Chains A and B, each alone.
Chain A
Amino acid sequence: MKYDVVIGLEVHVQVQTATKIFCRCPNRSGAEPNTLICPVCMGYPGVLPVPNREAVRKTILAGLMCDCKIAEYSKFDRKSYFYPDMPKNFQTSQYDLPLCGRGYVQIAGIGFSGEELPAAEIGITRIHLEEDVGKSTHFGEYSGIDYNRAGVPLMEIVSEPDMTSPDQAYAYLTVLKQAMQYGGISDCDMEKGQLRCDVNVSLKPAGRTELGAKIELKNLNSFKSVHRALESDIERQAAVLDGGGELLQETRGWDDDLGDSYFLRRKEGDDDYRYFPEPDLMPMAIDNAWLEEIRAQVPETPEKRRDRFVAQYSIPEYDAGVLTADRPVADYYEETVNAGAPAKKASNWIMVELMRELSQANVPITESPISPTALAQLVTAIESADITGRQAKDIFVDMFKTGNDLETVKATLNIVKTDDSEIRNWARQAITANPKPVAEFKEGNEKSMNFLVGQVMKASRGNANPQSARQILIEELGKS
């Protein structure tokens, strides 16, 4: 390509805390509009903010996970602009002394488009902590505002303009999301607005140092749409430049259905937000003892966890890679194994059966109706031949539907372990009723044994263990 692509990302991540950043309202989504509010997060006359220590801790943790330099001295600032979803008409944010300074993350592997992605470091400019604003909804004639989200702690993670392709941007987002999930900092569910992403992309003739006009893309609702929007806008910008046209700094919106972007507004110079230090909050001194305490909480990276899974549980590297890609999945797996499940079998059941059911039901693994303990019971029962593989599948489906444990489901489905005397009866009946296959077996035809086992299984309505059936058939045939 005759143009160099320069991409930088601004990612907003809601920090998972029990309460909001400056008041004690619960920090959660999905409640009825304007039910999680108080005078403080509504910016009523006379209220004052009290900072949430946990939000600060998690922001520092995020910084440590991105190798950021953590500020010894940090403060909040007010960012002024008028918008109805912002209760005070200023946002308490951080200007010149963010909690986390320069850092980086590493990307590698196969890119979203399927091509090899060479290992690269993507610089992080800063991570700062601020308050989220409310949410406006427009109903044609009027607008409604839900302030439940106002005051939710929000991190802004600004990358260096280090990315040169949509694949890199996608990989960067994936790594960031993994880190946030691993640190317990955020679930990063984009559908719930827990992660929001603005993209800056510019093109310049290959080799030139001077940057081209910065185009900001907004309304990107998934990592996939980030990738698509970037591909589309790089193409658009290249076409303009090819045609001898000029690009001006502007903000564009992305329409995922149309697969195209549209002009939103021209940007001329920087907006004047009249930042000044928040006089209602004291500056924060991050003392070394606390920083070390947080440093000790930095979780293992997905890569390290994958290697540990291979070593500790003797599962194939492929399994370990799949399981550790999402922290909740990896957590689920470890809980299942810790509850006594055989490691490889547990891995199979989670990767195949559980993932399929979850994705069909569109339920995250953290809300799986089958708990790790319940799954461990099931897998253990198969291993110890208490139930058959076929029974296990029926039980699994019912467990997923009802959320009940193994014993309850077995009772509901009327699954009882068939004892050997019953199998022996069925075996004798099968031998008596099928003299021809019996004779063939005795002549050395193994396939005939399969037929006889099938007869026993049929008589047991699938409840007999096929191994037991085979064993008993051989015993009985030996007698005659």
Chain B
Amino acid sequence: MADQYVHQLSPATLFDAAAELAAGDATSTSLCRQLLARHEATDNILNGYRQLESDAILEQAAAADARRSDGKPIGPYDGLPIAIKDNIAVNGQPCGCASRILEGYTAPYDATVVTRLKAAGMICAGRTNMDEFAMGSSTENSAYGHSCNPWNTECVPGGSSGGSAVAVASGQAFAALGSDTGGSIRQPASFCGIVGLKPTYGLVPRYGLVAYASSLDQIGPLTSDVRDAALVLDIIGGYDPMDSTSIPDTRTGFIDALDKGIEGLRIGVPKEYFDVDGLHPEVRQASEAAIRAFSDAGCEVVDVSLPSLRYGVAVYYVIATAEASSNLARYDGIRYGARYPDTDLMSTYFMTREKGFGKEVKRRIILGTYVLSSGYYDAYYLRAQKIRTLVRRDFAEAFKSCDVIIGPTSPTTAFRHGEISDPLQMYLTDIYTVPANLAGNCGISIPYGTDSSGLPIGVQLMGDSLCENNILRAGHWLMESGKS
């Protein structure tokens, strides 16, 4: 019976939990116990976490409660737990990227986002499952087994931040951090009926995020609602001297912007997003309904064009794999992680990488090595970078006439485990999410209705660089309007 593990219908949020703490209606310990009980009841089926240490969590919760009863809480979020994707470093915790090759590896430092969460008093509670090294769209490529969609356990939760989406959607976490290289936050959020935000490239520091594709990766929150997404972004966002690609311009106060409503926001509809083969009719209808809702509420709806959409996935898989082939070269069994020794150095490299990496990771390393090879560089990598510039221009042009671009997050709702076995077909599930990574701007997936089989549908709102406020305001309004 799948229903037994169904999603939280009225999920708890960080925001509400903080209010309960402030009012004395809850303690950090009681909140953590509630989540742990849920974990106990569901995760042996859902497999959202690859590791969760309840003792350590309760210890930190008790410390937070002590601070609060002393009248000295670190802040409003002191003692609130947040789940962390297995590719973000938390000092002293495993950081395995759901890969065999990092078995036994413990991170010796905190990612900047983790430092900031801890500074706010938050508890890094559990490592969530993912596609190995964030390569995948279904969380089926994990060395720790696949995760299941809480709405239907026969379905995938999406990926690569599938475990984070599962944890939030099933009530095991108020919020979770994920990473998004081509849609890895937004697509699982869409499949699991929650909110997933990919911030502007450079807004959230990447220091401590295990690199898949450095120029595309971005950390972001998976949450039950938009207010929590803004709340987490306020904590983790901002300039970091440890990340040379982080944007010096630091803006916060995202949570305060939500109440501004949607007045004056112009909604752009890219016709190419609705011309895609394989766009499921019910998904299309959900997006169209959302557009109507904005229009009915008085927003100006304009047609925009993103003609480079058709190249997005191809360009993405050239650039991402090229960077990945280099980023993953360090996993050789010499300094940390698993080593599969053989007779000599070269054989040890081969054996370690042969046994340590899964099939999809190997596929992408080989692809990336190929496109960077002398004689092929110009035809693939260089050309992909040029098209990437075109994608940026498309967005720049579109954002001249609108503030928010709306469309589906993914062409379909959650598919079944094993349903997509052709890698190319799997790559195409990222078609709507990849452009924001290529251009570096922000995007958010908002749950908006369900299909006829009861699976959630996501609507994506994209904003210009550093215009998170626009998509957060629009997303917040859209989600609230859907409730009534």
Known: A44-B336, A45-B107, A87-B330. A50 touches B244 (CB 8 A): yes
Contact (Cβ within 8 A) B369 A88: no
Pick out which of these stretches binds chain B: A64-72, A177-185, A226-234, A273-281: A273-281
| Inter-chain contacts of B32 with A (CB < 8 A) | none
CA distance A272 to B376 in the complex (A): 11
Partner of A51, one of B109, B244, B373: B244
Q: Give the interface SS of chain B, mostly helix, strand, loop or mixed.
A: loop
Q: Is B7 an interface residue (CB 8 A)?
A: no
Q: Could you say which of B207, B209, B330, B374 has the most chain A C-beta atoms within 10 Å of its C-beta?
A: B330
Contact (Cβ within 8 A) B330 A88: yes
Known: A44-B108, A51-B244. A89 touches B207 (CB 8 A): no
| Inter-chain contacts of A88 with B (CB < 8 A) | 329-330
Partner of A272, one of B241, B245, B332, B373: B373
Known: A45-B107, A46-B207, A51-B244. A274 touches B330 (CB 8 A): no
| A82 to B, closest residue via Cβ | B349
| Inter-chain contacts of A109 with B (CB < 8 A) | none
| Inter-chain contacts of B242 with A (CB < 8 A) | 48, 50
CB distance from B113 to the nearest CB of A (A): 11
| Inter-chain contacts of A89 with B (CB < 8 A) | 329-330, 332
Q: Is B56 an interface residue (CB 8 A)?
A: no
Contact (Cβ within 8 A) A274 B369: yes
Contact (Cβ within 8 A) B329 A281: no
| Inter-chain contacts of B111 with A (CB < 8 A) | 46
A30-43 near B? 1/0 per residue, CB < 8 Å: 00000000010011
Known: A39-B108, A82-B332. A272 touches B381 (CB 8 A): no
Contact (Cβ within 8 A) A45 B102: yes
CA distance A280 to B246 in the complex (A): 10
Known: A88-B330, A90-B329, A274-B374. A46 touches B88 (CB 8 A): yes
| B368 to A, closest residue via Cβ | A274
CA distance A43 to B327 in the complex (A): 10
Within B78-127, which residues are at the interface with A (CB < 8 Å)? Answer: 87-89, 95, 97, 102, 105, 107-109, 111
Q: Is A108 an interface residue (CB 8 A)?
A: no
| Inter-chain contacts of A219 with B (CB < 8 A) | none
Contact (Cβ within 8 A) A45 B95: yes
B376-387 near A? 1/0 per residue, CB < 8 Å: 010001000000
| A273 to B, closest residue via Cβ | B374
CB distance from B141 to the nearest CB of A (A): 17
Q: Could you say which of A45, A280, A282 has the most chain B C-beta atoms within 10 Å of its C-beta?
A: A45
CA distance A480 to B23 in the complex (A): 114
Q: Is B480 an interface residue (CB 8 A)?
A: no
B395-407 near A? 1/0 per residue, CB < 8 Å: 0000000000000
Contact (Cβ within 8 A) B107 A274: no
Q: Is A364 an interface residue (CB 8 A)?
A: no
CB distance from A95 to the nearest CB of B (A): 11
CA distance A280 to B336 in the complex (A): 22
Q: Is A225 an interface residue (CB 8 A)?
A: no
Contact (Cβ within 8 A) A46 B89: yes
Contact size range, B: 35 or more
CA distance A182 to B100 in the complex (A): 52
CA distance A394 to B105 in the complex (A): 62
Contact (Cβ within 8 A) B244 A84: no
Contact size range, A: 20 to 34
CA distance A39 to B109 in the complex (A): 8
Q: Is A126 an interface residue (CB 8 A)?
A: no
Contact (Cβ within 8 A) A84 B89: no
CA distance A47 to B345 in the complex (A): 25
Known: A84-B334, A276-B372, A276-B377. A78 touches B326 (CB 8 A): yes
Within B389-432, which residues are at the interface with A (CB < 8 Å)? Answer: none
| Inter-chain contacts of A47 with B (CB < 8 A) | 109, 207-208
CA distance A255 to B1 in the complex (A): 76
| A270 to B, closest residue via Cβ | B374
| Inter-chain contacts of A279 with B (CB < 8 A) | 213-215, 245, 323
CA distance A82 to B346 in the complex (A): 9
CA distance A88 to B95 in the complex (A): 17
CA distance A280 to B243 in the complex (A): 8
CA distance A78 to B377 in the complex (A): 14
Contact (Cβ within 8 A) A276 B330: no
Q: Is A49 an interface residue (CB 8 A)?
A: yes
| Inter-chain contacts of A145 with B (CB < 8 A) | 334
Contact (Cβ within 8 A) B244 A272: no
CA distance A308 to B95 in the complex (A): 62
CB distance from B51 to the nearest CB of A (A): 16
Q: Is B473 an interface residue (CB 8 A)?
A: no
Q: Is B176 an interface residue (CB 8 A)?
A: no
Q: Is A249 an interface residue (CB 8 A)?
A: no
Contact (Cβ within 8 A) A46 B209: yes
| Inter-chain contacts of A281 with B (CB < 8 A) | 244-245
CA distance A84 to B336 in the complex (A): 12
Q: Is B483 an interface residue (CB 8 A)?
A: no
CB distance from B63 to the nearest CB of A (A): 26
| Inter-chain contacts of A275 with B (CB < 8 A) | 372
Contact (Cβ within 8 A) A280 B373: no
| Inter-chain contacts of B374 with A (CB < 8 A) | 270, 272, 274
Q: Is A80 an interface residue (CB 8 A)?
A: yes
| Inter-chain contacts of B349 with A (CB < 8 A) | 82
CA distance A50 to B102 in the complex (A): 25
| A49 to B, closest residue via Cβ | B244
Which 4 pairs between the two chains have the least Cβ-Cβ distance?
A: A89-B329, A279-B214, A274-B372, A279-B215
- Other contacts beyond A48-B207, A50-B243, A280-B245: 15, CB < 8 A: A39-B108, A45-B89, A46-B209, A46-B210, A46-B211, A47-B207, A50-B241, A82-B332, A88-B330, A272-B374, A274-B377, A276-B323, A276-B326, A276-B381, A279-B213
25 contacts between A and B (CB under 8 A): A44-B107, A44-B335, A45-B87, A45-B89, A45-B210, A45-B336, A46-B210, A47-B208, A50-B243, A51-B244, A80-B326, A82-B329, A82-B349, A88-B329, A89-B332, A90-B326, A90-B329, A270-B374, A272-B373, A274-B326, A276-B381, A279-B245, A280-B211, A280-B214, A281-B245
